[in-house]
């Protein structure tokens, strides 16, 4: 039964991506690329660079290992992505990943502080980016390693300082959302130089 559900979700996701122009195997433009052993969805192109997001949830991890108020700048997940996870890439691939000025806005509904802007090689999407880069909920759905639709973290704060926003398993952007110590899906984003 799980395999059938996963197959149906994958078909729905591919159809939805195709409907909004994000996935088209007949297109001369590459909208899904392989990089560093993962498949990535191309969200934006600028010259020879592209903003890419992992198609699937790559793992489950807490946003921060300790409770209490936290922002992206000081979060455990930011440290992990820009150190341990980054170091999993070959040196050649690491050199293709660009430093990005990451804007950390306050929560748009609750006003929870987003903290200082940061410079990162790898980051999570914000609430605004998750709403901007996807046409609708169905195009935000991501699968975990079991082929099941999964929640995934955003870098934006939730309703209070020790919550972070997430995308739910049907692709809705939940801006209230969950305590940062709970394990949730991770979908890294990064800007890459497309020329090797």
Dmax (CA) of the chain: 48
Q: Global pTM?
A: 0.85
**pLDDT on residue 152:** 98
Predicted local confidence at residue 30, as pLDDT: 44
Separation CA 52–CA 58 (nearest Å): 14
Q: CA-CA distance, 9 to 15, in Å (whole number)?
A: 10
- Chunk the chain into consecutive blocks of 10 residues (it has 196) and report each block's average pLDDT, rounded to whole numbers: 40 42 38 96 96 97 96 98 98 98 98 98 98 95 96 98 97 96 98 91
For residue 133, the SS3 value is coil
Name the 3-class secondary structure at 13.
helix
Residue the block writes with tokens 């996935």: 23
Cβ atoms 129, 136 nearer than 8 A: no
Of residues 47, 49, 51, 58, the one with CA closest to residue 22:
51
């Amino acid at each position: 039964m799980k395999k059938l559900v996963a197959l149906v979700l994958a078909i729905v996701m591919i159809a939805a991506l195709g409907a909004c122009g994000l996935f088209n195997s007949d297109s001369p433009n590459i909208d899904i690329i392989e990089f560093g052993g993962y498949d990535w969805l191309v969200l934006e192109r600028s010259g020879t660079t592209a903003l890419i997001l992992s198609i699937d949830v790559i793992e489950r991890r807490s946003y921060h290992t300790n409770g209490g108020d936290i922002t992206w700048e000081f979060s455990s997940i930011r440290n992990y992505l820009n150190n341990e996870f980054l170091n999993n890439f070959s040196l050649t691939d690491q050199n293709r990943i660009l430093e990005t000025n990451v804007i950390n806005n306050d929560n748009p509904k609750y006003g929870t502080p987003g903290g200082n802007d940061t410079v990162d090689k790898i980051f999570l999407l914000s609430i605004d980016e998750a709403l901007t880069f996807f046409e609708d909920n169905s195009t935000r759905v991501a699968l975990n390693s079991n082929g099941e639709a999964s929640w995934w973290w955003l870098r934006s704060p939730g309703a209070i300082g020790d919550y972070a926003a997430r995308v739910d398993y049907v692709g809705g952007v939940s801006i209230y959302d969950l305590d940062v110590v709970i394990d949730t899906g991770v979908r890294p984003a990064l800007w890459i130089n497309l020329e090797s």
